[in-house]
Amino acid sequence: MAELWRLCAADIAALVRARQVSAREVAVDTLERIEAVNHRINAIVDYRPEEILQRAYRLDALLAQGEDPGPLAGVPVSVKINTDQASFATTNGSVLQEHLIAASNSPAVDNLIRAGALLIGRSNSPTFALRWFTDNQLHGKTLNPRDPRLTPGGSSGGGAAAVAAGMGPLALGTDIGGSVRYPAYACGIHGLRPSFGRVPAYNASSPERAIGPHLMSATGPMARTVNDLRLALAALSKHDARDPWHTSVPLSGTLATRRVALCFRPDGMPIAAEVEAALRNAALRLKDAGWQVEERERIPSLTEAASIQEQLWLGDGFERLFSSVERDGDAGAQAVVSGIRPAVAGLPSDVVARALVRRLTEARKWQTFFVDYAVLLVPVSGELPFPDDLDRQGPEGFRLVWDAQLPMRAFPAVGLPGVVVTTGAVGTTPVGVQLVAARFREDLCLEAASDIEARSEPVTVVDPC
């Protein structure tokens, strides 16, 4: 079967499990696609063809013996360079970690392997995952396959670009301030940031993170179909004892109401006309699918949640981060730490303790809000995907990026799930919307996203320029 790389994850798994296509055929086809297009966009920065083929042979052998290799049988998946994958360097895009070789897999990677996935390579990320742009001194720049003048997003930009360009239908990313959701938006695909505690995470290669990042970082998938996000989430959510925060909660629950709250300008933030048009269009699609959409001028404060996110992220260990960025020398990372340093300079010594109390208050407000609404529909960003490296264009460029990303920065502070669903394009520039629900209600986000997707043109693989 030709061009298996064009297929979604669910179709590949079904064909492999039915033995209509071998895992080896999928692996060979994907490797050929990587060889054909990766040099144009630099999305996959390390991969080992022989190991991929050996894994495919083992999957085919299991099938020949009548065994079930798992729901992701033969599905190619890329893994972000800040996530432990045994025998690969967890570089996090830094020259300081070039030789930090992982001795074991992270729980999410182990869950992918148990589900039968083919791990086809390491996807690029900015230095220390600090930017909404993907570039570093160690691996170089990743380009957006839909338009190289635009950012591919960050920090999981390599994974999103790989999915958009047909180098695997799934990519594994991480998100503490939009790092799964924004690359999906920028590359014209879909992305899921799961709830806090849904997907187990742990990097044995690295020191324990401070409490703030622990409470806010999430590992999640990017894909060209919403159903593939659902399939990946089921595989990734399996319990792993190495993550004390992990909670085994059913992946679906009751739908008490099909009400959607639509907020165009959370806290009065400005949005581009094209962003507003995408939200209105998504609302119409949801209404057509039977959802009741209610416009809300006010919702719980995203500004407050984003302030908490900033203080939990930077209130403990910023000077260590600043020192590491200076030693690494990456100009993009330096622009970020310089841009946020004024906000950190005056923080009190007990800022994290205070932020944790504020976090509880805001989380309560959101949980109460979602008693009345199944889903919140909001912008992904206040702007269309940025011109590449906009954050390095002086203080004005950095501030424009930072302010536009309010909907990216806020929700991790209160542990809520979010799905970004692409809704089309303005010329060559992708556009989409963000759906948010109560904690552990990814199923509601995905249901609404499916209804939007069903009334859109299918996302197809793009040949990079």
CA distances 413 to 75, 132, 299, Å, are 32, 18, 16
pLDDT tens readout for residues 163-209: 999 999 999 999 999 999 999 999 999 999 999 999 999 999 999 99
pLDDT tens readout for residues 389-424: 999 999 999 999 999 999 999 999 999 999 999 999
Query: In the prediction, which pLDDT does 1 show?
Result: 64
Query: In the prediction, which pLDDT does 256 show?
Result: 80
Percent of the chain with pLDDT over 70: 100
User: 49-54 long-range contacts, Cβ below 8 Å, gap at least 24?
Assistant: 52/27, 52/118, 52/119, 52/120, 53/24, 53/27, 53/28
Q: Does the reported pTM lie above 0.95? A: yes
Query: In the prediction, which pLDDT does 2 show?
Result: 72
Q: Give the residue extent of every domain in the chain.
A: 4-454
Mean pLDDT of all residues in 331-342: 94
Query: In the prediction, which pLDDT does 255 show?
Result: 84
Backbone angles phi, psi at 219, to 5 degrees: -105, 130
- What three-state secondary structure class fits 103? coil
Mean pLDDT of all residues in 227-244: 98
- Using alpha carbons only, how large is the chain's radius of gyration in Å? 20
Q: What is the DSSP annotation of 125-136?
A: --GGG--SS-EE
- For 4-454, CATH gives 3.90.1300.10
Helix (H) or strand (E) holding 249: none
Percent of the chain with pLDDT over 90: 97
Residues with active-site annotation: 80, 155, 179
pLDDT band at 89 (very low <50, low <70, confident <90, very high): very high
Point out the least confidently predicted range of 275-279, 316-320, 388-392: 316-320
Most confident of 54-58, 251-255, 316-320: 54-58
